[in-house]
Amino acid sequence: MSKIKVMSENLANKIAAGEVVEKCSSIVKELCENAIDAKAKNIIINLSEGGKKEIEVIDDGVGMSREDASLAFLRHATSKIYKDDDLFFIDTLGFRGEALPSIASVSRVELKTSDEIEGTHIIMEGGGILVEESSPLKKGTSIKVTNLFYNTPARLKYLKSEASELASCTSFVERLALSHPSISFTLNHENHLVVKTSGSGDLLKAIHEIYGVSVSTKMLEVKASNDDFDLYGYVCKPEILKSNRNHMITFVNDRVVKNYDINKAINDAYYTYKPDIKYPIVILKINTDPTLIDVNIHPTKQDIKLSKMDVLTDLILKTIKDVLYKNLLIPNAVERMPESNIAKQEFVDTVVKESDEEYLPKNIQTTMDFVNLGKESPSEEETVVNPDMKELVLYPVGVAHGTYIIAENETGVFLIDQHAAQERVNYERNMKALASKKVSTTDLLFPITIELSQSEFLKLKKEEETLKEMGFGIEEFGLNTFVFKSHPTWLLEGHEEESIRRIVDLIIGGLSGFDRIKFNESIAITLACKMSIKANMHISHEAQEELLKELCACDNPYNCPHGRPTIIKFSIYDLERMFKRSMN
């Protein structure tokens, strides 16, 4: 008797559901993407118990005929692709034909749909049809999913708390709203509004509706193109960084994707503008020829493969770095937001307690005036434009806590972190020295001998010529040993051996090969820190003046190379408001 048998359609669908339907947000994703493919302009998502009890998605798309409504629940039934070549020209979010049968196999599904010619009402449970009848002719589709995983208890018990499931659903709806700003999304939970976007088609307005005024006013537009890719979106100023990567949101051909190389390029663009443990808010839309991408890797379709990835990451890196360089200004110490525009949090306490706050909706109130972005009408004193720091003349008047230089000019009062400021000055000086073709060297009074393991010796041997080009006098000296006899003059006096050993560690410690650009940056940052004055270290008034003059002359005077701010401003208007001299 044969041991191999063809499994039933229902069993196959349950197995497929394990990949397609992992949690409540998986269902929200699949149903919303179907609505988008159906050309909906308004999509409403209603959740109960975070989606564990009920998920309903209502759209005003083209709807389905009676025949299509029945076929939609058959595995691999799809209106998106018909032949092999179609896989190379996918321009819809769905195409596999697995979502609806997978969802229906592990839940109770109620479908109401109409193409304005005929209306259809279908109820399914566990993959079987219970009801199929006519329904009203209102154009669009409504799908309600209940009793999720009722027949697969092993998966049911792995659903997370109501708060966590709601947070996951909310996070994905926010991403969909940002990827399709021309579609209005409404997310309700237990009849309470959670997310609401207008569908205006304006990406910055969608960012405002999702994140609120405090973020949308600090976003910088990015736009670039090459022969293969078009980029458009917004990146945040370094002053509003987040503690995780979840806010680096990317879309390829309007599909929400997660890609390590793209996220790495975004994060690398902020190098020296932020601490390593902080991450930017980035909304980036990437458009390309469908033949350059492969979305048929995983049923969720969020993992994709891209041809010419190196071309794309170079474009992202350069574009974001250029925008940050051209737009960074001194952050104001006082954030102004009128009380009438403070976002209202409508989640119950349990949601806040049980969910990662980074995933929760940032702005529930959506009736703010987008044109003004919540700003008060500025007074005459406030209309002074925050100038480029290179144009500033700052006059030091004192030091607070031995760490912060207090300076002033006609526009306000400034606090400067003396260590961060000098670190920036030294970093840029070191980077110029490392990039210079003319290298000044000096001999070591006592040569420095460095013993290595065989593998470390081979790595350093490979980069021996690079070290010589940088101005290091290096020679082999016995078994697995090098001796340094001279060094470039920009090494910190009194710390020559420590600096050389640090440079050697950076070369031999690289996991993916030696990268001269990153190597130069790492060396410049490390030595800049050691060369700089520390907190609580007294410096003379003349030294303060010189430091401020050098800082203002830097290419990027706003952050130390670790990403911390060097300077913060209190405008005249800020001071007068704080002291109630101005009541506007």
Give mean pLDDT, residues 204-232: 94
Structure tokens at 168: 């996951």
Q: How far apart are CA 200 and CA 209, in angstroms?
A: 11
Exposed, middle or buried, 477 (CB in 10 Å: 0-12/13-18/19+)?
Answer: middle
- Number of other CB atoms surrounding residue 231 within 10 Å: 19
Helix 418-435 × helix 541-552 angle, to 10°: 50
Q: How confident is the model at residue 348 (pLDDT cuts 50, 70, 90)?
A: very low
Alpha carbon 297 to its chain's center? 23
Residue 254: left (phi > 0), alpha (psi -120 to 50), or beta?
left
Residues 120 and 265 in one domain: no
Residue 81 lies in a domain: yes
pLDDT in tens, 538-583: 899 999 999 999 999 998 898 899 888 899 999 898 898 888 887 6
DSSP β-bridge partners for residue 405: 399, 416
Residues 127 and 275 in one domain: no
CATH number at residue 21: 3.30.565.10
Residue 219 lies in a domain: yes
The count of structural domains within the chain is 3
Identify whether the C-beta of residue 262 lies closer than 8 Å to the C-beta of residue 320: no
Q: How confident is the model at residue 388 (pLDDT cuts 50, 70, 90)?
A: low
Residues 390 and 499 in one domain: yes
The helix/strand/coil state of 283 is strand
Give mean pLDDT, residues 58-64: 94
77-84 long-range contacts, Cβ below 8 Å, gap at least 24?
Answer: 77/101, 80/37
Residue 258 lies in a domain: yes
| pLDDT at residue 12, as a whole number | 57
Helix 260-269 × helix 309-327 angle, to 10°: 30
Identify whether the C-beta of residue 111 lies closer than 8 Å to the C-beta of residue 136: no
Identify whether the C-beta of residue 558 lies closer than 8 Å to the C-beta of residue 329: yes
According to DSSP, residue 571 is labeled E
Residues 469 and 538 in one domain: yes
Residues 387 and 320 in one domain: no
| pLDDT at residue 584, as a whole number | 64
> Domain span at residue 231?
213-327
Q: How far apart are CA 288 and CA 309, in angstroms?
A: 12
Q: Sort strands 481-488 and 192-196 into parallel, antiparallel or unpaired.
A: unpaired
| pLDDT at residue 302, as a whole number | 56
Residues 388 and 321 in one domain: no
418: closest CA among 568, 570, 566? 566
pTM score, whole prediction: 0.72
235: closest CA among 209, 273, 201? 273
Kindly provide the residue ranges of all beta strands, DSSP E only, lying in 372-463, ordered along the sequence: 395-400, 404-409, 412-417, 441-451
Residues 399 and 540 in one domain: yes
Residue 189 lies in a domain: no
Residue 353 lies in a domain: no
Give mean pLDDT, residues 401-406: 94
Max mean pLDDT range (17-21, 414-418, 475-479, 494-498): 414-418
Could you give the percent of the chain with pLDDT greater than 70?
Answer: 80
Q: Sort strands 184-189 and 42-48 into parallel, antiparallel or unpaired.
A: parallel
Q: How confident is the model at residue 82 (pLDDT cuts 50, 70, 90)?
A: very low
126, 159, 192 — which closes off a domain? 159
Residues 482 and 573 in one domain: yes
Residue 374: left (phi > 0), alpha (psi -120 to 50), or beta?
left
| pLDDT at residue 306, as a whole number | 82
Residue 498 lies in a domain: yes
What proportions of the chain, in percent to the nearest 5, are helix, strand and coil?
A: 40, 25, 40
308, 327, 346 — which closes off a domain? 327
Give mean pLDDT, residues 261-271: 92
Residues 430 and 506 in one domain: yes
End-to-end CA distance of the chain: 89
CATH number at residue 230: 3.30.230.10
Average pLDDT score, the chain? 82
Residues 29 and 145 in one domain: yes
Identify whether the C-beta of residue 77 lies closer than 8 Å to the C-beta of residue 104: no
Q: How far apart are CA 393 and CA 127, in angstroms?
A: 73
Residue 526 lies in a domain: yes
pLDDT in tens, 217-226: 999 999 999 9
Residue 48 identity (one-letter amino acid) = S
Q: How confident is the model at residue 89 (pLDDT cuts 50, 70, 90)?
A: very low
**Cβ neighbours for 159, distance < 8 A, ≥ 6 positions apart:** 23, 24, 52, 148, 149, 165
429: closest CA among 557, 554, 281? 554
SS3 of 476-500: the string is ECCCCEEEEEEEECCCCCCCHHHHH
According to DSSP, residue 308 is labeled T
Phi and psi at residue 280, to the nearest 5° = -85, 165
| pLDDT at residue 223, as a whole number | 96
pLDDT in tens, 469-522: 889 999 999 899 999 999 998 887 888 888 899 888 888 876 556 677 778 888
Read out DSSP for 1-38? --S--PPPHHHHHHHHHHHH-SSHHHHHHHHHHHHHHT
Kindly provide the residue ranges of all beta strands, DSSP E only, lying in 115-218, ordered along the sequence: 119-125, 128-134, 140-146, 184-189, 192-196
Check whether 76 has a pLDDT greater than 80: no
Structure tokens at 341: 């525009």
Q: Sort strands 184-189 and 192-196 into parallel, antiparallel or unpaired.
A: antiparallel
Residue 233 lies in a domain: yes
pLDDT in tens, 97-139: 577 888 888 889 999 999 999 999 999 988 788 999 998 888 9
Residues 15 and 148 in one domain: yes
| pLDDT at residue 548, as a whole number | 95
Identify whether the C-beta of residue 114 lies closer than 8 Å to the C-beta of residue 120: yes
159, 179, 197 — which closes off a domain? 159
DSSP β-bridge partners for residue 279: 242
CATH number at residue 486: 3.30.1540.20
Residue 351 identity (one-letter amino acid) = V
Identify whether the C-beta of residue 35 lies closer than 8 Å to the C-beta of residue 141: yes
Least-confidence region, from 186-195, 401-410, 532-541: 532-541
Residues 15 and 129 in one domain: yes
